[in-house]
Amino acid sequence: EAGVAQSPRYKIIEKRQSVAFWCNPISGHATLYWYQQILGQGPKLLIQFQNNGVVDDSQLPKDRFSAERLKGVDSTLKIQPAKLEDSAVYLCASSLAGANSYEQYFGPGTRLTVT
């Protein structure tokens, strides 16, 4: 089966600019996650969707980050305005819904560099 798709793979922007990332989860996966992975650290959850509803966005910096999953499939993550500390890899992951569906599958990520 096809994996999680993300685009773009790389992005370089200047601080205060805006940027958007796109994710297409594995077909049939109702749960979608966005993680931020700073160099040398483990991924940190930014937001979790179940279909088109937000389950957890407690670690999303809402003053500059936003995310949506309007039709319960693809999702976009936006940063506006970007700061230097936003330089990281943004990983999208998906999993089946359900009480015993734990396995998360990751996309290749988008490497963001803010200069």
Partner 1 sequence: GENVEQHPSTLSVQEGDSAVIKCTYSDSASNYFPWYKQELGKRPQLIIDIRSNVGEKKDQRIAVTLNKTAKHFSLHITETQPEDSAVYFCAATLKAAGNKLTFGGGTRVLVKP
Nearest-approach distance from CB 101 to partner 1, in angstroms: 7
Nearest-approach distance from CB 7 to partner 1, in angstroms: 14
Tokens coding 49: 């969707």
Q: Under the phi-then-psi rule, with left for phi > 0, alpha for psi from -120 to 50, and beta for the rest, what region is 109?
A: left
Nearest-approach distance from CB 48 to partner 1, in angstroms: 6
Return all residues near 40 (Cβ < 8 A) that are at least 6 apart.
none
Closer to partner 1 at the Cβ: 64 or 106? 106
Q: Which residues pair with 3 in a beta bridge?
A: none
Which residues in this chain contact partner 1 in the complex, by CB under 8 A? 31, 33, 40-45, 48, 50, 55-56, 91, 95, 99, 101-109
Closer to partner 1 at the Cβ: 14 or 56? 56
Closer to partner 1 at the Cβ: 31 or 75? 31
What burial class does residue 28 get, using C-beta atoms within 10 Å of its C-beta: 0-12 exposed, 13-18 middle, 19+ buried? exposed
